[in-house]
Amino acid sequence: MPLSPLLSSYDHVVLDLDGCVWVGDRATRRAPEAIAALRAAHKSLAFVTNDARRSPEDYVRKLWALGIQASLEEVVTVGAAIQHALAEHPRSDVYVIGAPAIFRHVSEAGQRIVNGTERAASAELVVVADHDELRFSDLQAAIQAVLAGAEMIAAGRDRTYPTEAGPSAGTGAVVAALEYATDRSATIVGKPDPQIFFTALDRLGPGRVLVVGDRLDADLAGAGAAGLEAAIVLTGVSSAAAAEAASDPAPVAIAPDLHALVLES
């Protein structure tokens, strides 16, 4: 089945995962078929996510389980972006709020994790990402460290992420609590910061790129910050009315889902 005229005009496609390729543990309508069609048309792909709860290897396994071929090189996670940022940072004591994957990224960046030690409240860096086992007590040492002068680095400002049971709190909700408690601002590494898109571009090489996502504040704004065009699908958090009203930047297309964008528009 031939690609839509819009997709035919791009060399590479950067795909958001949550709300675009899948919602919860289910692929969006005929998403595997759409992605297979992009590959058949020789479009290079990158899968980009602000979800810091899993490792890149976990995402590859999930994509294959949903019938979507993917390689580790094609998956760009916010955890990997945090690792890249911390690898360039002087070795420091780091307090981490996040899933095991984030702890691994921080450790592999050469930083000292001080969770559960007497140095936790005096950490020099606080890394923040949502995770399924988050407890209110996890915030205490982070608040104390930030008030003492620690820099706060976060995986994004997504207020929620879509699940099959409805929206769930995202990293942005955790960051908001810490910023409110400390009157300090976090440095954002995930979308809409352009760095995660630049990482994807380094892997894709030269050519015209389209970003496809479901969030105006993360996918559309982040693509714009990276100098890229973006399309919005309505399978995640953005409504048709909000997408149509978006400007500076405006999406190049709005579609009900990824399949409709790639093959039906």
Strands 168-169, 160-161: pairing kind: antiparallel
DSSP conformation class of 120: G
C-beta neighbour count of 247 within 10 angstroms: 7
Torsional class of 149: left (φ above 0), alpha (ψ -120 to 50), beta (otherwise):
left
C-beta neighbour count of 205 within 10 angstroms: 9
C-beta neighbour count of 180 within 10 angstroms: 10
Contacts 24+ apart (CB under 8 A), 251-257: 251/220, 252/6, 252/210, 253/6, 255/231, 257/28, 257/29, 257/30, 257/31, 257/233
Beta partners for residue 168, in sequence order: 161
* C-alpha to C-alpha distance for 181 and 152, rounded to whole angstroms: 13
Catalytic residue numbers read 16, 18
Main-chain dihedrals φ then ψ at residue 125, nearest 5 degrees: -135, 145
Spell out the residues 6+ positions from residue 256 whose beta carbon is closer than 8 angstroms to its own.
Answer: 233, 234, 235
